[in-house]
With several copies, the nearest count.
Chain A
Amino acid sequence: MSKVRTLEDAVALIPDGATLMIGGFMAVGSPLRLIDELVRQRKRDLTIIANDTARPGQGIGKLIVEKLAARVVASHIGLNPETQKQMIAGDLQVELVPQGTLAERIRAGGFGLGGVLTPTGVGTVVEEGKRTVEIDGRTFLLELPLKADFALINAKRADYLGNLEYALTARNFNPIMAMAAETVIAEAQDIVPVGVIPPDAVVTPNVVVDLLVAKERRHG
């Protein structure tokens, strides 16, 4: 049962209105081919869960500029004035989440935990509307898990089974997002035969990856 799909077929599975987790940090480690194909197929009303919205012409920033997102959950939008403009105009709903909390909420979604108890945000506007829990005299915010319909993942290498390996700071949110979505679509810079990536180097196990985007044909 091969997981390999063309870029076009993989993205065609994503309906308008879907909730997407998209890996990357300022576009580094973002699945750039998948993002471009989302734009080409004009998927609309997307909810995007990601660390940031990059810059306007870059990575996730393209989805913002093309007005394909209805909602963004992110820790930082400061380098994309378009995100702020749409937010202030009321065209785009933005939920800002502290970066460490965002990471743990995504992880909780993928790891079957009921939520996250974090000291971050206590006594700030982030606390508004949230439950707090007292533990040993300290106050923690109860932050809820995040899940998505699709996770779009960028890896340095994948093997034919979908085992994924990442490179340096391009790892960032990719491994935790790959655990937290109904359907996980991965694009990889290299695709190698099974066995090439040793077991200890695999960061995302093949069993959570549903689809692998085929490389573009360079010959013929």
Chain B
Amino acid sequence: MDEKTLIAKRVALELRDGNLVNLGIGLPTLVARYLPAGVNVFFQSENGIVGMQALPEEGMEDDDLTDAGGGPIGAVPGACAFDSAMSFGLIRGGHLDVTVLGGLQVDQEGKLANWMVPGKMVPGMGGAMDLVSGARRVIVAMQHSAKGESKILKRCTLPLTSARPVSLVVTDLAVIEPTPGGLLLRETAPGVTVAQVLANTAADLIVPDDVPVMPITA
């Protein structure tokens, strides 16, 4: 199983039946494929729908039904559409149970940077700041390192997405939970040792005596 699949599968285990979930573009989108049996969730797309799903097949596109990237999607029976103010009312008002977002950096306090690299990439924050400030649970799904450098740092060097800590960080090496006391190592990926996680993490980690392996099977 490749790293992205591993991350997506582990994140999927965090979703509960009936949850309203918003998946960011890229890796987080994969989470939808790995919902555990018996867990039915509603996916929101912040451009204005609850109940999005993948397009069933080519040739079924509707020009008026797209995801936040502008790509064609489908909708489940019972989907509902609304304007942007309502869409972010759901996000900011605490109605969104879970958002899964990509990350550039996460710091020791659990704060996320994922929307810009000054001088290089200034795409705009889109809905990311509202999602991180408003969702009940914010799960970061990302590679643990990029170009050999840890993305989990003592302090983010990139501009923050929110001053609010995220709820959980899932990487190809570990599951890490930001707590008031610091970053808690919750799980390691299959075949990865605690020592490997520590070696690849630039932030301090709280390591309990027993660190279970992610309950992921192929």
A and B touch in the complex (CB under 8 A): yes
With an 8 A cutoff between CB atoms, is B54 at the interface? no
The reply to whether B64 and A98 contact each other, CB–CB distance below 8 Å, is no
With an 8 A cutoff between CB atoms, is A77 at the interface? yes
Q: What is the CA–CA distance of A113 and B75 in the complex, to the nearest angstrom?
A: 29
Residues of chain A lying within 8 A (CB to CB) of residue B208: none
Residues of chain A lying within 8 A (CB to CB) of residue B192: none
Q: Most chain-B Cβ atoms within 10 A of its Cβ — which of A25, A100, A175, A199?
A: A100
Q: What is the CA–CA distance of A123 and B159 in the complex, to the nearest angstrom?
A: 10
Residues of chain A lying within 8 A (CB to CB) of residue B65: 167-170
The number of A-B residue pairs with CB atoms under 8 Å apart is 210
Q: What is the CA–CA distance of A119 and B131 in the complex, to the nearest angstrom?
A: 11
B81 CB, nearest partner CB in chain A, Å:
4
Residues of chain B lying within 8 A (CB to CB) of residue A110: 89, 93, 95
With an 8 A cutoff between CB atoms, is B149 at the interface? no
Q: What is the CA–CA distance of A208 and B91 in the complex, to the nearest angstrom?
A: 12
Residues of chain A lying within 8 A (CB to CB) of residue B68: 25-26
Given contacts A156-B64, A205-B82, contact A168 B49 (CB under 8 A): yes
The reply to whether A124 and B134 contact each other, CB–CB distance below 8 Å, is no
The reply to whether A96 and B91 contact each other, CB–CB distance below 8 Å, is no
Give per-residue flags for B110-122: 1 if the beta carbon is below 8 A from chain A beta carbons, else 0.
0000000000011
Give per-residue flags for A16-55: 1 if the beta carbon is below 8 A from chain B beta carbons, else 0.
0000000001111100000000000000000000011011
B96 (CB) vs chain A CBs: closest residue: A207
The reply to whether A100 and B92 contact each other, CB–CB distance below 8 Å, is yes
Which residue from A52, A100, A122 sits with its C-beta under 8 Å from B124? A52
B161 CB, nearest partner CB in chain A, Å:
7
A217 CB, nearest partner CB in chain B, Å:
23
Residues of chain A lying within 8 A (CB to CB) of residue B82: 171, 202, 205
Given contacts A26-B70, A27-B70, contact A205 B90 (CB under 8 A): yes
With an 8 A cutoff between CB atoms, is A86 at the interface? no
B87 CB, nearest partner CB in chain A, Å:
8
Q: What is the CA–CA distance of A102 and B124 in the complex, to the nearest angstrom?
A: 12
With an 8 A cutoff between CB atoms, is A65 at the interface? no
Give chain B interface residues in 94-143, CB to chain A under 8 Å.
94-95, 121-130, 133-134
With an 8 A cutoff between CB atoms, is A84 at the interface? yes
The reply to whether B130 and A101 contact each other, CB–CB distance below 8 Å, is yes
Q: What is the CA–CA distance of A111 and B50 in the complex, to the nearest angstrom?
A: 16
The reply to whether A208 and B95 contact each other, CB–CB distance below 8 Å, is yes
Which residue from A77, A111, A208 sits with its C-beta under 8 Å from B92? A111
B205 CB, nearest partner CB in chain A, Å:
24
Report how many residues on chain A are interfacial, defined by Cβ distance under 8 Å: 70
With an 8 A cutoff between CB atoms, is A62 at the interface? no
The reply to whether B48 and A171 contact each other, CB–CB distance below 8 Å, is yes
Given contacts A77-B124, A124-B159, contact A168 B62 (CB under 8 A): yes
The reply to whether B89 and A124 contact each other, CB–CB distance below 8 Å, is no
The reply to whether B161 and A124 contact each other, CB–CB distance below 8 Å, is yes
With an 8 A cutoff between CB atoms, is A112 at the interface? yes
Given contacts A124-B163, A207-B90, contact A78 B124 (CB under 8 A): yes
The reply to whether B126 and A76 contact each other, CB–CB distance below 8 Å, is yes
Give chain B interface residues in 127-177, CB to chain A under 8 Å.
127-130, 133-134, 159-164
Which residue from A98, A104, A156, A205 sits with its C-beta under 8 Å from B125? A98
A107 (CB) vs chain B CBs: closest residue: B85
A100-B91, A110-B89, A169-B66 known; 10 new pairs, CB 8 Å cut-off, are: A1-B18, A75-B124, A96-B124, A102-B84, A112-B91, A112-B134, A120-B129, A121-B129, A123-B163, A169-B45
- 16 inter-chain pairs at a CB distance below 8 angstroms, sorted by A residue, are A75-B126, A76-B123, A77-B124, A96-B124, A98-B126, A111-B88, A112-B134, A119-B134, A120-B129, A120-B134, A124-B159, A169-B67, A170-B64, A179-B95, A202-B82, A207-B50
The 5 closest A-B pairs by CB, nearest first: A78-B123, A123-B163, A100-B88, A26-B70, A112-B92
